A and B are shown apart, each in its own frame.
Chain A
Amino acid sequence: AQSVTQPDIHITVSEGASLELRCNYSYGATPYLFWYVQSPGQGLQLLLKYFSGDTLVQGIKGFEAEFKRSQSSFNLRKPSVHWSDAAEYFCAVGPDSTGGGNKLTFGTGTQLKVEL
């Protein structure tokens, strides 16, 4: 069964500092990998995704992530964090075709706080 681990429940960084959010996955084949961001009371917004090809993926809002098959990781990075980046971040892997739905499996999320 596929799974996603986000080891950091909370992370606090200063505005302007660099950021790395960790994501490790377990999947039987080449996965589809996603990073989503969620603001309080809102749905999920896709930051970036990896399907195939270049292992360094660029996303919106200045985020990037690198797929490392040997480490089963897909860490999210940003060189300079802005106060508006404070939110909950979810890593997800898929598709899981059991049950015929091609569903995603989510990590438990990382709450990012930005100190001004």
Chain B
Amino acid sequence: GAVVSQHPSWVICKSGTSVKIECRSLDFQATTMFWYRQFPKQSLMLMATSNEGSKATYEQGVEKDKFLINHASLTLSTLTVTSAHPEDSSFYICSARDPRGRVGYTFGSGTRLTVV
């Protein structure tokens, strides 16, 4: 139980375009999901906390207009990187907290974004 599916696994896009990444909780309802960014050989940096039915809470220094987060249902959160540039290339990982408390926090498999 407590599976989180993240899609796509990798994406290449042209500079100036937008990219949407999906994060789904498959067997539980996640009122809260988290979006992280990870640079090579570094730890995870929390970008924002996504709350179902309300606005996301962004960490300091994260541009909310560039990284749009939508959490329209209890099983789906999306991260849209708008007007992507090469410096946005990174590994993005989502996580969901299982409210049943059995596992805690489950992570998706990540999305490798490359902006060319």
Contacts and interface: CB of A to CB of B under 8 A. Distances in A.
A52 B6 CA distance: 30
A63 interface: no
A99 B49 contact: yes
B112 interface: yes
B112 A101 contact: no
Interface stretch (A14-22, A40-48, A65-73, A75-83): A40-48
**Interface size for chain B: under 10, 10 to 19, 20 to 34, or 35 or more residues?**
20 to 34
B44 interface: yes
Main secondary structure of the interface of B (DSSP, over half): strand
Interface residues of A, number: 26
A102 interface: yes
B26 to A, nearest CB: 14
Interface string B31-73: 0101000000111101001010000010000000000000000
Where chain A touches its partner, the secondary structure class is strand
A99 B97 contact: no
B82 interface: no
A104 B105 contact: yes
B104 interface: yes
B105 A43 contact: no
Interface string A81-116: 000000000101011000111111011110100000
Interface of B: 6, 32, 34, 41-44, 46, 49, 51, 57, 91, 93, 95, 97, 101, 103-110, 112
